Structure 1
Amino acid sequence: MTNPTAADLIARSNSLGSDPKNTNYAGGNTSAKGTDIDPVTGEPVELMWVKGSGGDLGTLQEKGLAVLRLDRMRALVKVYPGLDREDEMVAAFDYCLHGKGGAAPSIDTAMHGLVDAAHVDHLHPDSGIAIATAADGEALTSKIFGDKVVWVPWRRPGFQLGLDIAEIKAKNPQAIGCILGGHGITAWGDTSAESEQNSLWIIETAQTYIDSHGESQPFGAAREGFGALADAERLTKAAALAATIRGLASRDKPMVGHFTDDERVLEFLASAKAPELAELGTSCPDHFLRTKVKPMLLDLPAHASVEESVARLSELHEAYRADYTAYYEAHATDSSPAIRGADPLIVLVPGVGMFSYGANKQTARVAGEFYLNAINVMRGAEALSTYTPISDAEKFNIEYWALEEAKLLRAPKPKTHQGRIAFVTGAASGIGKAIATRLAAEGACVVIADLDLEKARAAAAELGSTDVAIGVAANVADADGVQSAINETLLAFGGIDLVVNNAGLSLSKPLLETTEKDWDLQHDVMAKGSFLVTKAAAKSLVEQGMGGDVIYISSKNSVFAGPNNIAYSATKADQAHQVRLLAVELGEHGVRVNGINPDGVVRGSGIFAAGWGANRAATYGVKEEDLGQYYANRTILKREVVPENVADAVYVLTGPELSRTTGLHIPVDSGVAAAFLR
């Protein structure tokens, strides 16, 4: 049963964390102090419930709380060894825990435990950080809040900061909170409601002051030629640049991307101060831990051609890597963790928008949200004063903190397909849906492309949020429609790594009954469609320079001469030879091309449900409901092939185990001797 104090804390945390003006995703922490019965003594014991390391306030649950005994927590003051060894105190928190389970205590635990208040909120609101990063932030704090809010100079989060804030509260009994220089805000209260009310008052008071006293153009005048492109032109250019930029951002390790053309980003990129402010970087630790210390900004006007932009981005990328390496070398010590990569996580393109990157889609999206927070912070600070982030040395001390490294090491091992972006055609049902489901389960971002947009979106929704899968409309026989679907993929996830040509249909007819229309329809969807999809995707695969996979779901009919099946089998043979041809052509770019030859997959198949099953059943003289078993009985293994069997083959072919395999066709047919590959 949840303790009432903990229940109130979770409710307050969710309330504060659900509004991005209060704090960003996974930013800040909250706590509550109360009593519970110690099961060992049967006596009441004073406890503190505090959001643990790595959680998010907006979605916080009881399992995300750390629970500590206050007597032991406060006793740590007597053994605190000082600033030079304060990182040791995080390990000491483990000896203060009450009971089992819950989250690991974060570095901010001391702030909550040492401050003499029943409820404490530490948040990262844009308006509060704007004051915290202003050159005259201390004077502004006094002017805006009077003596209700106290200024605390920048100090790295830790035990000493907790002691500092505890002392400030003791010396300022009238205060309801403080502004933490370069960082954020902390507020407190005797009740959960009072603490939340005080937090919101600080946030809203700061924003009201910025709105009423700030300059109308804090970023300066707009630069001529750097304004936002028209909507269609903007998205077209973004899609044209996406694969190249992702390749640059993935030099050290593969990244998934996110794109936004939020008007606040476009306004910032058009402004006179954008180059100067971008170079200063972010200040709040939560910001630069997600975005790196600064972004990479393209210094060309909005109407620069894609070719010019690509060339300049490549030059800027080399300069960025050299600059970041110099930053690391200037501040690293013998005990510092190894450099984690020198590629940018935020790439800004004037007139177009912002590309952000991470190990998965959620991390990439959140990185973009954090940089938008940083833009808001810079706007507020420049409106009232001069934006002055913490120094690079302090940023490095946070970014390469041993405690931050330990948090990264605690992260679960990535799945085999994490960071990969898959585009699967005909994926709203049957084999395609099974493939999409398996790839998503293995960590891939999946685009479900189907002729029926509603079904594609419904199938994507079954796999999770849009951080996992999206549905797009795709008539694979139409070049413009294919390119549009690929562009949607590039804008949704930043690039493309894995293509599965699965879309298909069939008409079971003998030669003399097969019309030219029948022939053209099947060849348009499968032979031509696979060609169009692979061609459009290959352009991005080559531009990324990250290799990739193309899979053709061909058929045992590509090598087996079945009856009454001229058009279908011929187009499958066409697909099978595309595999061989493209394996040779795309191999120099690290792109592997392989095929899978299933036997008749009846269960869940859109093709069979659309009449093909009835025709094949009639051809073989069996009932339609017995067709799957008929196919199984004629195989060596006597087992029916289902969509998941084909999905398993795609998983293996595109996983790490067969990284040196290309030009291969894998039979998934339970053994059809006539279709053996020779």
Structure 2
Amino acid sequence: MTNPAVADLIARSNRLGADAKNTNYAGGNTSAKGTETDPVTGESVDLVWVKGSGGDLGTLTEPGLAVLRLDRMRALVDVYPGVDQEDEMVAAFDYCLHGKGGAAPSIDTAMHGLVDSAHVDHLHPDSGIAIATAADGEALTKQIFGDTVVWVPWRRPGFQLGLDIAAIKDANPQAIGCILGGHGITAWGDTSDECETNSLTILDTAAAYIAEHSKPEPFGAPLPGYAGLSTAERRAKAAALAPTLRAIASADKPMVGHYTDSEVVLDFLGHAEHPRLAALGTSCPDHFLRTKVTPLLLDLPATAGVEESIARLEELHEAYRADYQAYYDRHATPDSPAIRGADPLVILIPGVGMFSYGKDKQTARVAGEFYVNAINVMRGAEGLSTYAPIEESEKFRIEYWALEEAKLARMPQPKPLATRIALVTGAASGIGRATAAKLAAEGACVVLADLDGAKAAAAAADLGTTDVAVGVAADVSDEDAVQAMVDAAVLAFGGLDLVVNNAGLSLSKPLLETTVADWDLQHDVMAKGSFLVSKAAAKVLIAQKLGGDIVYISSKNSIVAGPNNIAYSATKADQAHQVRLLAAELGEHGIKVNGVNPDGVVRGSGIFAGGWGASRAKVYGVEEENLGAFYAQRTLLKREVLPEHCANAVFALCGPEMTHTTGLHIPVDAGVAAAFLR
């Protein structure tokens, strides 16, 4: 049975975390104190439940809490060695755990355990951080809150900060919380409701004060030529720049991207002070751990052309890497973790928006959300005063903190296709749908394209959130539609790594009944369609400088002659040779091109369900429902080929084990001797 204090804590945390005005994703932490019976002694024991390391308030559940004995945790005060050795106290938290302990305790655990209140909230609201990062934040805190909220000068999160806040709370019994310089807010209460009310009072009061007293143009005057482009213009430019931007963000290691063109970002980049403010970087530790200390900012107007912008971005990237290395060298000590990469995680393009990057789509998206938080913070601080983030040396101490390194080491190992972005055509059914599911299960972000956009969207939704898969409508026989599909992919996930040419159809007719229209339709979708998709995708793959994979779902019919399918088999032979031609041409760019040759994939197939199955069954003199079994009996293995078997072959070609294979066709036909490759 859940302890009432825990139930209140979870409910409060979820309410606070559900509203972005209160705190950022995975930011902040909450706690509650209460009693339980010790299962060993049968005696009552005082406990503190704290949101564990890496958790998110909005989705917090009981397993996400760290559970510590309050007496043992508070006894750490007597053995605290001082601020120079405070990191040692985090390891000591493990000796304070109750029972199995729950989640790993976070660095802020001391704040929650040492503050003498039953409930404590530590949050990162934009309004609170705006006051915390204002040059005269202490005076503003007094002016806005009187003596009910106390200013705490910047101190890195840890045991000493917990001691400081506990002392401030004891010395100010009238206070409901404090503003943490450069960082956020902390509030407390005797009940969960009181604590939540106090938290909301602080952030809402700060927001109201900023709204009432801010100067009209916190970011300075509008900058001529830097205003946001029209929606169509900025998205077209974003798609054109995306491959280069991903190459920049992925020079050290591959990254997934997220594009944001919100009014908040466009407004920031359209005003005169944005270069100065961007250079100052973010302040809240949760922000710059996700965004790096500064973004890469393109210093050209919105009207600059794509080629000019690409050339300048490449120059700026070289300078950014040198600056980041210098930042590391200025502050690193012999004990510092190795540099984690010198590429930007946030790239700002005036008139267009922002690309943010991470190890997966969620991380990239959250990095972008955090930079939007930072823009809001800058607006609030500049509106009242001057934005003054914490010192660069303090940012380094947190970014390259041994405790942060240990947190990263606890992360699960990435899946085989992590950071890879896949585009699958004909993905609403059959082989395409199974392939998209396989690639997503192995860690890829997937764009499912289909002539039927609604079915593509439904298939994508079955794979998870839009951080995993998105569906788009696309007619692969139309060059403009193909380009729009590829643009949608790079705007969804920042780039492209893996393309599966699967879209197809078939009309089973003998030669004399096959019309020119029949011939053109099948060649337009499969031969021409594959060519168009490969051409548009290759442009992205080459610009990214990350290599990549193109896979054609061809057919055993590309090798074996069968009755009554002249148009289908001819176009499959065309696709098969495209594999060889493109493997020869694209190899110098690290792009592998391979094919899969299935036979008779009946179950789940859109082609077979659309009339091809009935036609083939008639040709072979069997009932349509028995066609899969018929195909199986003519194979060496006597096994029916399913969409999942073809998907497995695609993964094998694109996965980590076949890095040196290109120009190959893999038969997935359960053994058709006539289709053996020669």
Residue type of the alignment partner of 2:232: A
Whole-angstrom CA distance in 1 between matches of 2:335 and 2:216 = 47
Indicate if the aligned counterparts of 2:560 and 2:674 stay in contact, CA closer than 8 A.
yes
Whole-angstrom CA distance in 1 between matches of 2:643 and 2:287 = 44
Look up the match of 1:149: 149
Residue type of the alignment partner of 1:647: A
Indicate if the aligned counterparts of 2:67 and 2:101 stay in contact, CA closer than 8 A.
no
Q: After the TM superposition, which parts of structure 1 deviate over 6 Å for at least 4 consecutive aligned residues?
A: none
Look up the match of 2:464: 464
* 1:564-622 deviation per Cα after TM superposition (whole angstroms, max 9, x unaligned): 11100000000000000000111111110000000110111111111111111111111
Indicate if the aligned counterparts of 2:68 and 2:101 stay in contact, CA closer than 8 A.
no
1:39 aligns with 2:39: yes
Indicate if the aligned counterparts of 2:417 and 2:442 stay in contact, CA closer than 8 A.
yes
Residue type of the alignment partner of 1:212: E
Look up the match of 2:186: 186
Question: Which has the higher mean CA deviation after the structures are superposed, 342-351 or 630-639?
Answer: 630-639
Residue type of the alignment partner of 1:367: A
Displacement of 1:431 after TM fit?
A: 0.5
Residue type of the alignment partner of 1:308: E
Residue type of the alignment partner of 2:479: A
Whole-angstrom CA distance in 2 between matches of 1:24 and 1:471 = 28
Displacement of 1:120 after TM fit?
A: 0.2
Whole-angstrom CA distance in 1 between matches of 2:240 and 2:2 = 52
Whole-angstrom CA distance in 2 between matches of 1:264 and 1:603 = 48
Look up the match of 1:627: 627
What's the secondary structure of 1:178's corresponding residue? strand
Residue type of the alignment partner of 1:102: G
Look up the match of 1:546: 546
Look up the match of 2:673: 673
What's the secondary structure of 1:31's corresponding residue? strand
* 1:529-557 deviation per Cα after TM superposition (whole angstroms, max 9, x unaligned): 00011111111111111100000000000
Whole-angstrom CA distance in 2 between matches of 1:79 and 1:2 = 33
Displacement of 1:327 after TM fit?
A: 0.1
Look up the match of 1:235: 235
Look up the match of 1:656: 656
Indicate if the aligned counterparts of 1:435 and 1:646 stay in contact, CA closer than 8 A.
yes
What's the secondary structure of 1:666's corresponding residue? strand
Whole-angstrom CA distance in 1 between matches of 2:447 and 2:588 = 26
Indicate if the aligned counterparts of 2:422 and 2:446 stay in contact, CA closer than 8 A.
yes
Residue type of the alignment partner of 2:673: A
Look up the match of 1:492: 492
Look up the match of 2:213: 213
Whole-angstrom CA distance in 2 between matches of 1:544 and 1:619 = 48
Q: How does 1:405-424 map to 2 (within 5 A)?
A: 405-424=405-424
Residue type of the alignment partner of 1:291: T
Look up the match of 1:402: 402
What's the secondary structure of 2:593's corresponding residue? strand
Displacement of 1:677 after TM fit?
A: 0.6
Indicate if the aligned counterparts of 1:63 and 1:101 stay in contact, CA closer than 8 A.
no
Look up the match of 1:443: 443
Whole-angstrom CA distance in 2 between matches of 1:387 and 1:597 = 61
TM-score scaled by length of structure 1: 1.00
List gaps (5 residues or longer) in structure 2: none
Q: How does 1:344-359 map to 2 (within 5 A)?
A: 344-359=344-359
Displacement of 1:646 after TM fit?
A: 0.2
What's the secondary structure of 1:339's corresponding residue? coil
Look up the match of 2:48: 48
Whole-angstrom CA distance in 2 between matches of 1:136 and 1:564 = 82
Residue type of the alignment partner of 2:223: R
Residue type of the alignment partner of 1:602: V
Whole-angstrom CA distance in 2 between matches of 1:101 and 1:603 = 49
1:527 aligns with 2:493: no
Q: How does 1:502-513 map to 2 (within 5 A)?
A: 502-513=502-513
Q: How does 1:18-29 map to 2 (within 5 A)?
A: 18-29=18-29
Whole-angstrom CA distance in 2 between matches of 1:416 and 1:263 = 37
Displacement of 1:101 after TM fit?
A: 5.3
Whole-angstrom CA distance in 2 between matches of 1:522 and 1:220 = 58
User: Taking structure 1 as reference, are residues 552 and 101 closer, same or farther at Cα in structure 2, changes over 3 Å only?
Assistant: farther
Whole-angstrom CA distance in 2 between matches of 1:621 and 1:472 = 38
Residue type of the alignment partner of 1:36: E
Whole-angstrom CA distance in 2 between matches of 1:177 and 1:345 = 33
Residue type of the alignment partner of 1:224: P
Indicate if the aligned counterparts of 2:617 and 2:624 stay in contact, CA closer than 8 A.
yes
What's the secondary structure of 2:102's corresponding residue? coil
Whole-angstrom CA distance in 1 between matches of 2:573 and 2:7 = 63
Q: How does 1:570-585 map to 2 (within 5 A)?
A: 570-585=570-585
Question: Which has the higher mean CA deviation after the structures are superposed, 27-36 or 621-630?
Answer: 621-630
Q: Report how many residues are paired.
A: 678
Displacement of 1:346 after TM fit?
A: 0.2
Displacement of 1:38 after TM fit?
A: 1.2
Look up the match of 2:109: 109
Whole-angstrom CA distance in 2 between matches of 1:562 and 1:87 = 72
Residue type of the alignment partner of 1:618: K
Q: How does 1:259-298 map to 2 (within 5 A)?
A: 259-298=259-298
1:7 aligns with 2:7: yes
Look up the match of 2:324: 324
Whole-angstrom CA distance in 2 between matches of 1:417 and 1:555 = 25
Look up the match of 1:171: 171
* 1:341-369 deviation per Cα after TM superposition (whole angstroms, max 9, x unaligned): 00000000000000000000000000000
Look up the match of 2:84: 84
Displacement of 1:192 after TM fit?
A: 0.2
Displacement of 1:317 after TM fit?
A: 0.3
1:138 aligns with 2:131: no
Residue type of the alignment partner of 1:402: A
TM-score scaled by length of structure 2: 1.00
Look up the match of 1:638: 638
Displacement of 1:170 after TM fit?
A: 0.5
What's the secondary structure of 1:98's corresponding residue? strand
List gaps (5 residues or longer) in structure 1: none
Displacement of 1:626 after TM fit?
A: 1.1
Whole-angstrom CA distance in 2 between matches of 1:179 and 1:222 = 32
